[in-house]
Structure 1
Amino acid sequence: MDSPEFVDRSTTPEKNGRSSFSSIREDSCGPAQAFTSTPVSSLLQNPDNAIAILSDDSPDHTRSHSPLQAPDMTTEVQFVPPITRPNSKLQGNWFPADNFRGWKQINVKGKTASRSFGDLQALHMAWSTPPPPRKGRDRTPPGQAPIEKLPLELLGAIIELLVLDVPPINGITRRNMDLMSLLLTSRTMHGATLNALYRNITIPHSRIFRKFLTNIATHSALGTIIRRIDFSHFNNATLFESASQRKTTQNLTADTLLQCLNLTPHLREFLAMEHIDDDLGPEVLKKLFMGLPRLQALDFAGCTSFSFRTSFTSLLDLQWPDALSITRLSLHKCLTLPSSVFDTILPRLAQVTHLDLAQTRVTDKALQSIPHTARLTHLNLAKCTLLTAPNVINFFATHPAVKHTLVYLSVAADARSHQLLGEDEVSALVPLLPETLRSLSLKGSKMSESHLKLLRPLTKHLEELSVGRNMDVLTASQLLCPEEKSETEAAEGGQQGEQEKDQEKQAQEQEEKDERPSTLRFLDLSDLWGNELDLTHLFSKKCCLLQDESRPLEVVEVSESAFKSLSRSLTLERVGWSLQEIGSRYWMVRLEKGDDRGHRWWKMGADNWGMRKIPVARAEVGGMYGSFMFGRKL
C-alpha cells in the first residue's frame, strides 16, 4: 500500500459526492489548494440555511436532453402496394417521396411551422414494412457472464470506484444506494459488492454506528470483511443538541465500541479523533493495541479529554507484548498524554513507517528507543517542546530508522513560544537528511542567508519546503533562481582540480547535481513577518519567486498579515497568481493549472500541497483530518 507503484483509486466525483459536514474537504474539481468548508451544528438551528446549502451542493438529477433530431430520410425509396389490392402495380404509393425531408422541414410562409417531436417514421406511425425480427441469441447461463468471470480482486476494484466514502453534507442522507441493485444481480456480484461496501466503514454519526453494529451482530460473517473503521467525519451535532442527549441514546459508548471491535477480528485500520475520545475506554484501547493482531494503523488525532488520558495511563501497568503490529501511528496533538505513554509504546514499534507525534510530550529518550528494525518514511516532530536540538540531530545522524527511507519530515515550531533549532543546529541537521526526502518543514527555526548553500541541493528532490525566520523574500527566492558562479569561484575550482583529481571529480558531480532543475512545488514563507515579506521586493525583477524561473513552483504560503496586504493589491493577478485561504492558512496559487494537482503516493490520498498531519490510511481527505492537515496553524 505504501509503495510508490501503488495505483490509488480516483477520488469521489464531485457530482456524486457531498462536502463533509465537519470542517474541511478537498475540492478535486477546483483550482489548486481549493477546499470546501461547511458549518457543523448550525444546520439544525437554522433549517433555511441548511436547505440553501443542500440545494447548492446537491447533485443535479435532471439531465439536459438534446432536442430530438430529424430522422434520417436518406433510406432507399420503395413501392408500397395498397392494402385492399396487394397485387396491384398501378395503385399504391412510393415511400418516401423523393422530395420528402421530414415534417419538421415543411415551410409555411417562410417559417418552419411543425412543432412535432419527430417525424411519423420516428414515431412508428408510417405505413412501412416492419424490419425483420432479429434472431435470438443463446441466453448466457447463470454465473457465466463475462464480467462475472473476472477475478474477485479485479471485480471488487471496479465496484469500489462506485463507493462514496465521504458522508453527505448533513450526515443523514443515504449514500451508495446505486450499489444496492448490484446485490440482487447474481451471487458473484453480490459477494463482490458486499466486500466493497463493508471493507471500509465510515461513521458520520452515532445512529449509523448503531445500525452498523446491529447488522454485523446479526450477520457475523460481515464483520470478517471489515478492514477499516473511520470516525474522521464523526459529529453528533447533526442529531443531538447537547451531550446529555447523546449519552441518553447509548448508540456509541465504550461498551458498544468494544463490542464492535470484538466482531471485526480482521480490522487493519482504526481512525479516531477528538469527537469520540470519551468513548475510548481502557478496554477499547487494550483491544486496539493488544487484541487485534492484524491491526496496522491507529489514529488518535486531537484526543485530549481527561477520560482519554486516564484510559491510556491505566494501560501502562499491564503486561505489554514485546512488539506491536502497528506500523502507522498518529498521536497528532494528543496534548494530555504523559511522557510515560511514549516510553512504553515507541520501543515496541518494530516495523513502524508512519509516526506523527506533533505537539506531544515525547522525550529524547523515547525517540531514541525506536527499534533499529523500523524504517520510517513519515515523521512529524512539530512543536514537541520536550525534545532538545542536540539529541534530535544525533537521532538523525545515528539512527538507522531514518537514514535511507525518510520521505516526510517536520521539525517545525511556533517561533512565538518555542524554538527547537537555531542557526548552528540548522546547519548541522540539513546535511544529514537523505535524498529520499520529499517534504521538509523547518518552520520556526532560526535561519540566515548562509543556509542557502545547504538548502539549494535539497531543492533538487524536495517538493515541499517550509523555511524559518530571519530570511527575507529576496533571499528565499534565490533557492529557485539559477545559481551564478563568480570568476573567483571558477578559478579556485580549476586550481583545486589541477591539484587533486579526486576533488575535481567530486566537484564535477556536485556541479551536475546543482545544475538539475528545481523540483519545489510548495514553499512556506509564513514565518516572514512584517517587512520580511516586502511587496516591493516580491514584485521586483530581482525576485524570481512569481516569475517563470520558479517553475514548477505552484503554491506559496504566506502569513495572515502578508495575505491582507496582498488582497489590497491588483498586481498579483497581473503576474499570473491568485489568493486562496481556508481556516487559518493562506496561499498564493499560480493561475496556470496543469494536470498535476499534487497527488503523490506518500500523501496517502491528499491532492494538495503543504499537509501538516501525517495520514495513516489511504483515503479521501475530509472532515477533521482535513482540518488538521490543511486548515489549522501548527
Structure 2
Amino acid sequence: MATFAPSQQDLQTFFNGETQIFENAEDAQKYVQNHFSLTPFSVEILDKIVEYAYYLDNPEKKHANRNANLKNLMLVNSTFYSLCMPYTYRYGSFVRSNMFYSFLLTLMKKPALGKFVEGLDFQEFTAVGLGRSGRTLSQIQNLTERTILKCLELTPNLKQFLSSESIEGDISPQIVHCLFNSLPKLESIDFCGSSGFNFVHSFDNLSVLNMNYQIKRLSFHDCTDFNAKALRGILPRLPNLERLDLTHTPVVASDLAAGLNKNCRLTHISLSKCSNIGATHSFMNLLINHPSINNRDLVWLNLQNDYSVALLKSEAITYLLEHLKCTNLRYLNLNGYSEINESHLEIITRRFPQLESLSVSHLQKDSDFRILGRLENLKFVDLASNLDTRPAVVEFLRDCPKTVVAIEIRDTLADQLPEILIVRDQMWRVHNSNGQSRRVWIHRVDSRNDAHLYDLFYDSRIFFNIETGEQNDGEFKKPLFLKYASHKVNCSSQLTGEDDERVFPNSFCERGLYRYYALHR
C-alpha cells in the first residue's frame, strides 16, 4: 500500500481553510513546528497509522466501511484531522444522487480536496424505490452528465471510474473523452451493464489522442448494444492493458485481433457469451496467435459459451487447450460447450496445474471426475449440468479433491436438497444467496453452527453491544468462496489485503450491480 501523506502545506491548508504564504523555507518550518507539535511522531509515521486504520476491516461488519475508523481518528487533534482528509476523500462510493452532489459541492468549495480522490464508484448507485416517477428523477439535477464531467475535472489524480447501468443515460461523449484523454493517472474503467442510445453513441467519435500507458483495466461487461467498432479507436492506444471484459458484447474476433495492442500482456480476459464473435477459425486464431492473450501472464480466462450455439467442437477444444501457453492459469471457464469430455479434463490437469477455479458445466456425464484430483490447488468446480440429481451430487462429493471448498450444481436442486449434506463425515451447506441467485453452490462447513453463521450473512437485522452501545451486524461468516465463482473480470484496483485478490475479486470490489452481474446472472 502506497503512502499518500499530505505535505505540511496541505496540513495547514485544511486546518485553517486558507494557504499560508512564506518567504522562505525556514519560516515555513517554524510555522509547522509551532502549529503541529501536539504529537511526538513525524507526519510520515502518523500517516502510516492512518493508513493502517483505513485498511483495517471491522470483523463485526458485513461490508467494509473505510471511513468508520477515520471518523474516530479525526477527533484526536488537528494533525490527525488533516492527515485523515486524504483518506476520507480517497474513495467516493455513491448510493444516491444526493450523496454524489454533496461530494461534488465539497470539491467545488475546496478544490484542493480533489487531488486526493482516487476512485469514483457507482456500482451500488440506484434511484429506484424513492417513490419518484421517471419524470421527477429527470428533473433532479444532482447526477447528470454535466455534474459527472465537473467531478472528473476536479479530480486530476483519479485512478478508477466504476460506472454501471444506473447512470448509463448520463454518460456523454465529453465524459468518455475525458476518461480516455484527460486523466493521466486513471488505471481502471468499468461500464458494467451499460446500454442505451446515449451510452452507445458517446463512443461514436471517440479518439484516444495519444498512447495511454496508464489504463490497465477496461470492462464493457454486459454492454449488449455497445458498438464494438469503437474498440478500434481505443485498444490500439492501450499498450499496458492487463484486464479486458467484453462479456455479452457484439465484439467480433477479427476486429479484436486487429485492435488489441500487441505489446500489452493481458492477465484477465472474458469473451463470455459473445454471440457475434465470428467463425470458429477466427476465434481460435485470436486466442492462439495473438501475443496479448496467449502468454504466460494470463491467469483468468472466461470463454463461456451460449449453450444453443456450438462455437467450439471437441477437436477445436482439444487444439485450443494444447496450444494455450498460459500455464499459470488460475481461472478457466468453459461452460456451455456440450462436447467437452474426459480427454479434455486430462489436458486441463496436465497443462494448467495452478488452476483454482474450473467451470465445465456441460462436461459429458460419462467422464471420470476423479481426474480433477491431480489439480493440487483446485478450490472450485462448476459441473452444474452434471450434478442435476441428489445421487449425482453425493457421488461427486464423496470423491471430490480435498482441496475443493465449493461446487456449483443445477439451480433446480435448490429446493430438493436439505440445507446440510453429510458425506463421509464432511459437512456441506447448500448456498443460493438466500434465494436471490439463479445459481446454486454447495460448500464445506465445519459444523451446523458454522452453517448457521453463513445464513446470518444475509440477515438484515442490526445489533448493539450492551456494554459499549456500538452498532454491529451480529455473528456471521462471509461466503468468501464466491470469489472463485465470479463470471466478471474484476476491474477495481481497491486492495483490502485478502488472499489472491490480484487474481480473484475481493469482498470490497463486488457489491451492488457488480455482484449481481458476477454471480446472479
* Aligned pair partner of 1:610 in 485, 489, 492: 485
CA distance in 1, matches of 2:81, 2:231: 45
CA distance in 1, matches of 2:56, 2:185: 27
Q: Is the 8 A contact 2:398 2:424 kept in 1?
A: no
**Post-superposition shift, 1:548?**
6.5
Alignment of 1:219-258 (within 5 A): 219-258=110-149
The residue identity in structure 2 corresponding to 1:520 is: L
* Aligned pair partner of 1:438 in 321, 327, 330: 330
1:393-412: CA deviations, max 9, x gaps?
22332222231100100000
Match in the other structure for 2:369: 477
**Post-superposition shift, 1:181?**
5.0
**Post-superposition shift, 1:537?**
4.5
Match in the other structure for 1:585: 439
Q: Which has the higher contact order (CA 8 A, sep 6+)?
A: 1
Match in the other structure for 1:261: 152
CA distance in 2, matches of 1:571, 1:190: 53
Give the RMSD, CA atoms, in angstroms.
3.2
**Post-superposition shift, 1:444?**
0.8
Match in the other structure for 2:288: 397
TM-score, with structure 2 as normaliser: 0.76
Distance 1:175 1:468, change over 3 A: closer
* Aligned pair partner of 1:157 in 21, 46, 51: 51
* Aligned pair partner of 1:523 in 381, 397, 400: 381
Match in the other structure for 2:516: 627
* Aligned pair partner of 1:536 in 385, 388, 391: 391
CA distance in 1, matches of 2:238, 2:35: 52
**Post-superposition shift, 1:538?**
4.2
1:553 aligns with 2:445: no
Q: Is the 8 A contact 2:486 2:518 kept in 1?
A: yes
CA distance in 1, matches of 2:127, 2:210: 36
Secondary structure of the 2:301 match is: strand
1:344-389: CA deviations, max 9, x gaps?
2222221100100001111122221311110100000101112233
More displaced, 152-161 or 261-270?
Answer: 152-161
Match in the other structure for 1:299: 190
1:74-109: CA deviations, max 9, x gaps?
xxxxxxxxxxxxxxxxxxxxxxxxxxxxxxxxxxxx
**Post-superposition shift, 1:312?**
2.0
**Post-superposition shift, 1:459?**
6.0
CA distance in 2, matches of 1:568, 1:215: 49
CA distance in 1, matches of 2:35, 2:132: 55
1:461 aligns with 2:364: no
**Post-superposition shift, 1:291?**
1.5
**Post-superposition shift, 1:295?**
1.1
CA distance in 2, matches of 1:443, 1:285: 33
Alignment of 1:191-206 (within 5 A): 191-206=82-97
Distance 1:448 1:178, change over 3 A: closer
Q: Is the 8 A contact 1:162 1:179 kept in 2?
A: no
CA distance in 1, matches of 2:164, 2:255: 23
Secondary structure of the 1:550 match is: coil
Q: Which runs of 5 or more structure 2 residues have no equivalent in the other structure?
A: 3-33, 455-479, 495-507
The residue identity in structure 1 corresponding to 2:335 is: K
**Post-superposition shift, 1:225?**
0.6
**Post-superposition shift, 1:259?**
0.8
CA distance in 1, matches of 2:407, 2:203: 39
CA distance in 2, matches of 1:535, 1:180: 51
Distance 1:181 1:549, change over 3 A: closer
CA distance in 2, matches of 1:527, 1:191: 56
CA distance in 1, matches of 2:184, 2:420: 57
1:345 aligns with 2:234: yes
**Post-superposition shift, 1:616?**
1.0
**Post-superposition shift, 1:518?**
2.2
The residue identity in structure 2 corresponding to 1:151 is: I
Larger radius of gyration: 1
Q: How many residues align?
A: 436
Secondary structure of the 1:576 match is: strand
* Aligned pair partner of 1:367 in 256, 259, 262: 256
Q: Is the 8 A contact 1:356 1:379 kept in 2?
A: yes
CA distance in 1, matches of 2:46, 2:421: 56
TM-score, with structure 1 as normaliser: 0.63
CA distance in 2, matches of 1:142, 1:326: 38
**Post-superposition shift, 1:564?**
4.0
CA distance in 1, matches of 2:276, 2:78: 57
Distance 1:536 1:177, change over 3 A: closer
